[in-house]
Amino acid sequence: MQCVNSENWTFCRYQNDVFLAMISFGADPESIKEDRLEYYVTVLENEEKEIFQQSFDNLADACLYLNANYGDWTFEDQTAATGSGCSSCAAH
């Protein structure tokens, strides 16, 4: 079974019908003060509307949560997109 891990989290996600589950990174005012990133498990509807988001202090916990909660959805590797040129890249 494929899963999101520390090697592929930037280009892999899960999809179920119109919903996407993925990991991104960012910061809030407190983590910026500490020069620390946060990892966000996010579920989107139609790649536009945020349905759910939970933050984690480390990537390992975010991966565990994502796989445990959405691992039964279709696994998608965004680098395996077909087409040519930047505008056809599924990662964008």
Is 32 within a domain? yes
pLDDT band at 92 (very low <50, low <70, confident <90, very high): very low
Phi/psi for 32 (5° steps) reads -65, -40
Closest CA to 47 of 21, 72, 80, 74: 21
Is 79 within a domain? yes
Q: What is the pLDDT of residues 4-35, one digit of tens each?
A: 999 999 999 999 999 999 999 998 888 889 99
Is 77 within a domain? yes
Is 2 within a domain? no
What is the count of structural domains for the chain? 1
Q: What is the pLDDT of residues 29-77, one digit of tens each?
A: 888 899 989 999 999 999 999 999 999 999 999 999 999 999 999 999 9
Confidence (pTM): 0.82
> Which residues span the domain enclosing 39?
12-88
Is 3 within a domain? no
Is 7 within a domain? no
Is 1 within a domain? no
Give residue 59's pLDDT: 97
